Amino acid sequence: MTDPALWWLIFWCGAATYLWRGLGVLFSGRIRTDSPLFAWVGCVAYAMILGLSTRIILMPSGALADTLLSHRLIASGVAIAVYFGARRNLLLGTIAGVSVLAVLVEWGAAL
């Protein structure tokens, strides 16, 4: 990676990322978390996550596209069940979903 253009690209990407983080820190003391705007931003964030998750499950790309839809749906269901069953523990839910998907894919390949 000796091309100077790549280094400039990395620099500008980092600057853009840290600019928004810095502005967040600067304005964080002035934001009311109970305001309607904050609630709207939260709803938009949840909607984006749900849309992305749905797209990944229904229209995957890359290696995930080689898995069966039924396997992805079962793994997602297990992940959600473990997440809520473990008192909203995202790590345990994620590990459970990935593990179930891996087992289903390997089990399906063995047949």
What are the pLDDT digits (tens) for 2-21?
788 999 999 999 999 999 99
Above 80 in pLDDT, residue 38?
yes
Domain boundaries, the chain: 67-111
pLDDT in tens, 50-65: 999 999 999 999 999 9
- Grouping H, G, I as helix, E, B as strand and the rest as coil, residue 87 is coil
Backbone angles phi, psi at 35, to 5 degrees: -80, 155
Query: Is the whole model's pTM more than 0.75, yes or no?
Result: no
CA pair distance 21, 16, nearest whole angstrom:
9
